[in-house]
Amino acid sequence: MTKKRVVITGVGAVTPLGNDVPTTWNAIVEGKSGIGPLTRVNAEDFPAKVAAEIKDFDPEKYMHRKEVRKMDKFAQYALAASLMAVEDSGLKITDENATRVGVWIGSGIGGMETFENQFETLLNRGPRRVSPFMIPMMIPDMASGQVSIFLGAKGINSCTVTACASGTNSIGDAFKAIQRGDADAMVTGGAEAPITRMAVAGFCANTALSTNPDPNSASRPFDQNRDGFVIGEGAGIVVLEELEHALRRGATIYAEVVGYGATGDAHHITAPAPEGEGGARAMKIALEDGGLSPEDVGYVNAHGTSTDYNDKFETMAIKEVFGEHAYKLAVSSTKSMTGHLLGAAGGIEAIFTALAIKNGVLPPTINYETPDPECDLDYVPNEARHTELKAAISNSLGFGGHNATLAFRKYE
């Protein structure tokens, strides 16, 4: 069976750098940070003092106030980003094509804020006062569910929950749905709103978060002085389309999605496998799936969380996959600017990778000051770089040993 070709025709995002893709991308290219003091919860209660929070987001620009009250923040972000992506693509969803348009949006945690608020209601006011909307606001698949309802998209409707790989796995799964002919278009990506007392407490308890109180230097992937990730929130959504379907309607094409690799570490609930063995296999599968040789790839959007093991092992995995070519690659972590959006990270990073190819710009890794001898690749330190790209990959790695890689190629 011939694989159908799949392209990105629309992008939408709500991020700590801006509430749309142009604002976010301009900030990325300028090396600006969206990280600031932790304000969503009382910072005095936690060792972590900084976060990458969404600013000035008005959900009523995208939905009625009545709907806002029935949606957790993660679903609001997903819906806003999806509406932007569909508008950007120019895709019209009608009775005639609705069953061929699907939605696949991942979330690592789902409606944590709803869960916390309703648990307090249960304790303080009793079970009869718990909201009837609690369950449909909390479950992680509801971003996909709400987007499907708002758009009238009746095709495959799913959600991949693989912790910090959720967004990348969701896009990869949606890509495969189109490639095998199950859909003509998919609205896909990731969404997360985890800056809550319980989530911040949990990540602090397992010492994953940076305790650096300076927002300007807390997220420093691949730097020797990195000490943990900075928690972030938002959504990144792309519209994927079967190539002929996109060409027939004259759609703008950002990049072609050509490969997807997904593996399991079978090692540990939070730590990556030694030397990034599982991540290396995911990259190899994505390249093979996309018909790419290592030398075709010019850029890796790394998972690059700014944690000790992740950055070291991901570097080792890249060297394992690319051999000598690893030292000619540009590798950067946009989490230095966005923080770590958990299940939404793969969504926004897929957008950054596609825009890097389309615009010929490599996003920088900011706050890179002290090289780590164990992280010895070209991390595009501190300033964006202009260069033509033929192909690029984006990596996401999640608690539970989930590894996912997407391979993109310049559309020709």
- The predicted pLDDT at position 249 comes to 97
- The predicted pLDDT at position 2 comes to 84
Question: How far apart (Å, rounded) are the C-alpha atoms in residues 24 and 351?
Answer: 10
Output the DSSP codes for 107-128.
-SS--HHHHHHHHHHHHHH-GG
Question: How far apart (Å, rounded) are the C-alpha atoms in residues 299 and 216?
Answer: 25
Determine if the pTM surpasses 0.85. yes
CA dihedral 35, 37, 42, 48 (to 10 degrees): 70
Kindly give the pairing relationship between strand 385-386 and strand 391-398: unpaired
Domain edges within the chain: 7-400
Catalytically annotated residue among 245, 303, 375, 402: 303
Place of tokens 């989490």: 335
Active site residue 303: yes
Catalytically annotated residue among 64, 159, 267, 340: 340
For 7-400, CATH number out of 3.40.50.2000, 3.90.226.10, 1.10.730.10, 3.40.47.10 equals 3.40.47.10
Low-confidence ranges of the chain (pLDDT < 70): none
- The predicted pLDDT at position 363 comes to 98
Output the DSSP codes for 192-229.
E---SHHHHHHHHHTT-B-----TTTS--TTBTT---B
Active site residue 325: no
Catalytically annotated residue among 164, 245, 375, 402: 164
Active site residue 267: no
- The predicted pLDDT at position 297 comes to 98
